């Protein structure tokens, strides 16, 4: 948080930070949060990264 405030001029509370294993996991969590489970469908490949 000190780095964000000092170097990037971003003020953020600790509760607002989520650490993930990588971009793919972060994007999956974000997509799941944005979808309304009662009427939207979210399909995720397994594994989520195609090589």
In angstroms, rounded to a whole number, what is the distance separating the alpha carbons of residues 46 and 50? 9
pLDDT tens digits for range 2-49: 888 899 999 989 898 889 998 888 988 888 888 877 777 777 777 666
Q: Specify the residue for token string 């607002």.
A: 16
Domain borders along the chain are: 1-51
Band of pLDDT at residue 51, cut at 50, 70 and 90:
low
The predicted model scores a pTM of 0.52
The pLDDT value given to residue 48: 60
In angstroms, rounded to a whole number, what is the distance separating the alpha carbons of residues 2 and 36? 35
């Amino acid at each position: 948080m000190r780095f964000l405030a000092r170097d990037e001029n971003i003020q953020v509370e600790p509760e607002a930070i989520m650490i993930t294993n990588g971009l793919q996991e972060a994007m999956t969590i974000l997509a799941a949060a944005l979808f309304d489970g009662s009427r939207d469908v979210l399909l995720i490949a397994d594994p989520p990264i195609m090589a």
